[in-house]
Structure 1
Amino acid sequence: MLRPHALLRRTAMIDRLPPQHPDRIALANELHARPFPELAAPCRAAMIALQPESGAAERDPEADRAHLRALLDRHGAQHPAPGADHYFGALGRARLKWERHTEFVSYTLFLDGPAAQPFDGADFALFPPDWLAEAPGRIIASALVHVDLTEDAAAPGPAERAILERCFSAESLALSRVLDGKALAATDFRLHEHGCARIAVFVRPEVGRRRLGRLVQRLLELETYKSASMLTLPVARRAQRRLSEIDQELTRLMEGLRRGDGDSRATLDALMELSTEIETMAARAAFRFGAGRAYETIVRDRIAALREERVEGRQTFAEFINRRYDPAMRTCHAAEGRLRDLAARAARVADLLRTRVDVEMSAQNQALLESMDRRAALQLRLQETVEGLSVVAISYYAVNLAAYALAPLAKMAHVDKTWLTAALAPPVVAAAWWGLRRMRRRLAGGGD
């Protein structure tokens, strides 16, 4: 036992610790925010999960909370804390567990005692029809759970067999021994009356309330997340159909590229259009595929947590999942992988085609440069020709002007005009040629 002065010393040390992270307490409480219900057999449960038709992940959280408060007000129940994403409390003669997930919201009713008839759906009366009609979404999963006592969980007795034969499809019935052999769990993963899946649990009297509550909650989560993950399958099938068409178009473009048919730029435009469509499909389906993978992981975790044992040669939950559920999930994974592979393939073809276009443009540029060189050489020759003609023209006028200017002096010196003109021509032509050449060198930047 700590002495008072030692306790004070430890308290002082705690006070000197650095400040806590602002989210630490909230995150620690999050681990304990969704407790399992405590149930005692016989009892029953009814669950529905609602999801908006579009924009489920971006939906207004206050709309979900307002819908919950409307239900609680019908029964005079206490409201949840502001901003809560989960709630557990009394709702009339039942207990309500409400959870807000990324894409959907679930309502689960737990009621004590057996139903008048197993799976009669009467417990859904706690959800008023007008309240259901105002729900911000549509039902993606619903289930009824029947929990009863059994004296021997090694195999179903006459009473349990009667319920299994009357309420479940024999072809798809999955039956397992769970809770270390102290309970039987059964379902056929089908939708029955009221559009609900049915789950039956037969448990020995010594099983504790918390342990039974965990089992029922896991079975409900198995049904909920199985249904949520299956929402990916229609998206995958639509994507597969369109991807097959895109694959054929991409193959055709590649064959044309190999043969060198058609205009490369037109082919590149068509390829970029396909690439844009692929990227758009990938962006739109990315969340759905990611959510499907996450839900599938939860389904497998819930199956593993059951620690099933086979009963009378019946298929277990895991075997049903492997036979019926896995092919659907593999289709989703295949569609996601094919979408990713086609995007990479289109990018590689686009790179090859861009390289080809660049090479063709380089060849065109080379031909253009050669043509410009030829035109420049021709222009230079024309310029030299014009320059020669200019020298002749300038010289002609300069000689005539000089002859007129020197004619009086030539007359006084008794020099004939013809000889004067002949004498003036060479120096004038030379001066004109030298002047034009000097001017051209200056214009070209060559200096004198």
Structure 2
Amino acid sequence: MPKVRAFYDHPLRAPVLAELHARPFVPVSTPARILHVAFLVDREQAIADRAAFAALCASRGQSGPGREAKQHRVSFGGAVVRWERHAEFTTYTWELPAEDLVEGGLPFHPPSGALADTLLQVPQPGPLLVAVDLQLVTDTADALPLDRLFDRSSLARSDVEDGFAEVATDFQPDPSGFVRILVRDRGMTPDAAGALVQRVLEIETYRTLALLGLPEAQRLAPTVARIENQLGALTEEMRQTEGLAANNKLLDALTSLASELEADAAASLFRFGATRAYEEIVNSRLRAIGERTISGYPTWQQFLLRRLQPAMRTCQAIEQRQANLSVKLSSAANLLRTRVDVELEQQNRDLLHSMNKRARLQLRLQQTVEGLSVAAISYYVISLLHYVLEGLHARAEAAGIHYDVGTATAAAVPFVALGIWLVVRRIRKGHFDEE
């Protein structure tokens, strides 16, 4: 039986298929306490972080992340650590042992700062941006009031997962720098609890990352406003300016402004693009958890809409102003460049007209010089001929030939002048043929 030839795969088929399973939900049993941190890293820091985590895993007798792995989950002394690599940040998530979750029956005790030994097992790869202390507890009638755990003025809470859970947070860091999130379980399965925990952590992570665009927008705002004002002043000056030198000066100023604007736009391109992407992820995760309103409290979506959206609109406004300014600067520069080109064409036309006039004058002068040259050369030739005739006169007398030297010289003048004129004309025609 002949063997069927196997199909060959596209080089990207494996990573594309694996991407759907890069960060799967992990089942979580109630109760659970999860500490989650995110560090901003560049390429070199990310490589060093992967190597450091792999070394830590090896020192504990565990396998480390693969070369192309985006996440790795390993158990250290009862605590489960999950490492994830993202585009510009790395996250570590610790799921602590159940017996260490609650001290004295109170959530978030012991405080996250007391768990520093657990967190410092891995070297810090870059600056810390996100720190979350999430506690998953069973919802009971005698549960501790949330007002004692969170700041009431910024407390956001809502029912999620079709009422099988409640999430609450005030989005404020505790004394140890961790944002506390409480999840009350009302009968979720471990799989549903794991999915909810991951989505809640992603909401806090990505909303923080999205806000990185705000400082960049605030930094660029004065520069954008200054360029807008200078552009207005330059366009007004364009209406009153005449002359090539003045227009060239304005064109240099516009080019300088455009260069400054494009440099800032290029530097902020990634940050604003990432901000939009992170905002979309936050919104998609909020939709996924299916919030329901709890009377007297804003939902997470309502709270973030009121606090996060103004920052996002600021970033969008600066980005849009940069784009509009770029178009206006380009239009102004093109208009001014057209004026400069027109003035240059006028100058060239005047220059050509002047050159034509000068050429005509030179031609007339040349013709005059040629006429004088014919007369002068004829004079010298006639003078030489006269001397020749005088020298031959004596011998001619001896031979019986009588002629008047003056008459002979006068008779030769027309022929000499005509001959010289023909020679000069032939020379000039030769020059024209060469051109």
Per the normalisation by structure 1, the TM-score is 0.88
- The corresponding residue for 1:390 is 373
Structure 2 residue corresponding to 1:84, chosen from 59, 69, 79? 69
Query: Which position in structure 2 is the counterpart of 1:123?
Result: 115
1:105 Cα deviation from its structure 2 partner? 0.2
Alignment partner of 1:272 out of 255, 261, 267: 255
1:196: which partner in 2? 178
Q: Is the 8 A contact 2:46 2:125 kept in 1?
A: no
Q: Which runs of no fewer than 5 residues in structure 1 stay unpaired?
A: 1-8, 152-156
Aligned to 2:191: 210
Cα deviation for residue 265 of structure 1 reads 1.6
Deviations 1:350-405 (A, max 9, x none): 11111111111111111111111111111111111111111111111111112222
Match of 2:334 among 347, 351, 361: 351
1:305 correspondence with 2:293: no
Deviation (angstroms), 1:16: 4.8
- Give the corresponding residue for 2:361: 378
Give the distance between the partners of 1:94 and 1:409, measured in 2 at CA. 139
Contact preservation (8 Å) 2:155, 2:169: yes
Range 351-360 or range 419-428, more displaced: 419-428
The alpha carbon displacement at 1:17 in A equals: 5.2
Contact 2:49–2:125 under 8 Å retained in 1: yes
2:25 maps to: 36
Deviates further, 420-429 or 337-346: 420-429
Structure 2 counterpart of 1:292, from 241, 252, 275? 275
2:216 partner SS: helix
In structure 2, distance between residues paired with 1:233 and 1:86:
29
Residue equivalent to 2:135: 146
Structure 2 distance, partners of 1:425, 1:21, is: 99
Q: Which moved more, 1:426-435 or 1:363-372?
A: 426-435
1:182 CA drift (Å): 1.4
How do 1:31-430 and structure 2 match up within 5 A?
31-52=20-41, 56=42, 58-72=43-57, 75-113=60-98, 114-116=101-103, 117-119=106-108, 120-121=111-112, 122-128=114-120, 134-151=123-140, 157-161=141-145, 164-204=146-186, 206-260=187-241, 263-407=246-390, 408-409=392-393, 412=397, 413-430=401-418
For 1:324 and 1:40, the matched residues in 2 are separated by 32
1:46-65 per-residue CA deviation (whole Å, 9 max, x = no partner) reads 0110113xxx2x33543121
Aligned to 1:4: none
Q: 1:185 to 1:225 in 2, by over 3 A?
A: same
- Indicate conservation of the 8 Å contact 2:174/2:180, yes or no: yes
Question: Matched residues in 2 for 1:168 and 1:115: separation?
Answer: 17
Runs of 4+ aligned residues of structure 1 deviating over 6 Å after TM superposition are none
Percent identical residues: 40
- Between stretches 271-280 and 222-231, larger displacement belongs to 271-280
* 1:446 Cα deviation after fit: 8.9
- Local SS of the residue matching 2:16: helix
Separation in 1 of the partners of 2:434 and 2:149? 105
Cα deviations across residues 207-258 of structure 1 (Å, max 9, x unaligned)? 1011011111111110001111111111111112111111122222212222
Deviation, structure 1 residue 415? 3.8
Question: How many Å apart are 1:273 and its aligned residue?
Answer: 1.7
CA distance in 1, matches of 2:212, 2:347: 53
CA distance in 1, matches of 2:39, 2:158: 29
Q: CA deviation at 1:198?
A: 0.9
What do you get for the CA RMSD once the two structures are aligned?
A: 2.3
CA offsets 1:88-147 (integer angstroms, 9 cap, x no match):
12122211111000000000111243332433103343122xx56x42201011100111
Following the alignment from structure 1 to structure 2, what is the Cα–Cα distance between the partners of residues 74 and 115? 30
CA contact (8 A) 1:42 1:112 kept: no
CA–CA separation in structure 1 for the residues paired with 2:194 and 2:115: 18
Q: Output the CA distance in 1 between the equivalents of 2:241 and 2:327.
A: 22
Query: 1:301 Cα deviation (Å)?
Result: 0.6
Change (3 A) 1:384 1:188: same
Q: For 2:45 and 2:202, how far apart are their aligned partners in 1? A: 23
Q: Which sits farther off after the overlay, 76-85 or 295-304? A: 76-85
